[in-house]
Amino acid sequence: MALFNIENHLPLIAILRGVELNDIVRIANILVEEGFTMLEVPLNSPDALSSIRLMVEHFGPDLLLGAGTVTTEQEANAVIATGANLVVTPNLNEAVIKAAVAANCVCFPGVVTPTEAFAALAAGATGLKLFPVSQVGINGYKALKSVLPKDVLTMPVGGINPTVESMKPYIDIGANGFGLGASLYQVGMSDDQIRTNAKQFVGAYNQCFAA
């Protein structure tokens, strides 16, 4: 398993779906300035591998930078070749997990069921991306957590908003962080809007732990 301590990171993964190559460094820099340390470019974005490579070259190895929507071993190997250290999937593909972990990448595969979750862990996944969490809701997530080992990292993804009300119910059950998509970034958003969204997410996440 890739060496990873979530305490060294703000556990919010920025999902930059659709980002263009000529925008990636500027947008990523806004997020990094606001405290984000985990950023992914989904592979169904334009020229995604070039964007990931550019992001890696610009920010270096201290951040977790890589790809989302990685669905095949070939795609995983292409991502690894960019220098990425983060591989996120929407589904369970054991070959993807094993390729990522063999390359010392942090890997969060998408799972919904206990069967998928335990198969992902057996393949060496760093943690679990519960996706789409909107499908299972709080009760489904609680049921899944009840059977997982206590130290397994879980990151709900899908429909998370920058409010305490959206995030805290999952944190109270044991969520370690979240993947953030359209509520954080969408193509066409202004830099100011992206920064505002980032501030709101970081603030809401931190408020979840306030006394």
Sign of the CA dihedral running 152, 157, 161, 165: negative
Residue 51 falls inside a structural domain: yes
Closest to 163 in 3D by CA, of 143, 144, 178: 178
Calculate mean pLDDT across residues 108-128: 97
90 assigned to some structural domain? yes
Domain membership flag for residue 68: yes
Q: Assess whether 142 carries a catalytic annotation.
A: no
CB atoms within 10 A of CB 178: 27
Residue 8 has pLDDT above 90, yes or no: no
Q: Give how far Cα 68 sits from Cα of 52, 130, 131, 179, Å.
A: 10, 14, 12, 10
Beta-strand pair 110-111/178-180: unpaired
Q: pLDDT value at position 182?
A: 96
pLDDT of residue 60: 87
Is pLDDT of 2 > 60?
A: no
Q: For residue range 52-65, list pLDDT tens digits in order.
A: 999 999 998 899 99
User: CA dihedral defined by 185, 191, 196, 202, rounded to 10 degrees?
Assistant: 60
Asked, for residue 1, whether it belongs to a domain, the answer is: no
User: What number is the average pLDDT over the span 43-51?
Assistant: 97
The total of structural domains in the chain comes to 1
Phi-psi region of 133 (alpha: psi -120 to 50; beta: other; left: phi over 0): alpha
Mean pLDDT computed over 172-199: 97
Handedness of CA 62, 15, 207, 135 (dihedral sign): negative
* Average pLDDT score over the chain: 95
Query: Which residue range(s) make up the domain with 30?
Result: 8-207
Instruction: Name which of 82, 83, 87, 81 is nearest 101 in CA terms.
Output: 87
| Among 116, 129, 142, 199, the one annotated catalytic | 129
- Are 156 and 170 a contacting pair, CB within 8 Å? yes
Catalytic annotation on 40? yes
Torsional sign, CA 113, 115, 117, 120: negative
CA 86, CA 69: separation in Å to the nearest integer? 12
Instruction: With a cut of 60, say whether residue 195 has pLDDT above it.
Output: yes
Better-scored residue on pLDDT, 5 or 129: 129
Q: Residue 23 is encoded by which pair of tokens?
A: 């925008």
Q: Which of 7, 40, 57, 168 is catalytic?
A: 40
For residue 11, is the peptide bond before it cis, meaning its omega torsion is within 30 degrees of 0?
Answer: no
Q: Is residue 152 in a domain?
A: yes
Query: Is residue 2 situated within a structural domain?
Result: no
Record the pTM. Answer: 0.95
pLDDT > 90 in the chain, percent:
92
What pLDDT, on the 0 to 100 scale, is given for residue 210?
85
Instruction: For residue 3, tell me if it sits in a domain.
Output: no
List pLDDT tens digits, range 67-112: 999 999 999 999 999 999 999 999 999 999 999 999 999 999 999 9
Residue 20 pLDDT greater than 90, yes or no? yes
Domain with residue 93: its CATH number is: 3.20.20.70
* Beta partners for residue 88, in sequence order: 108
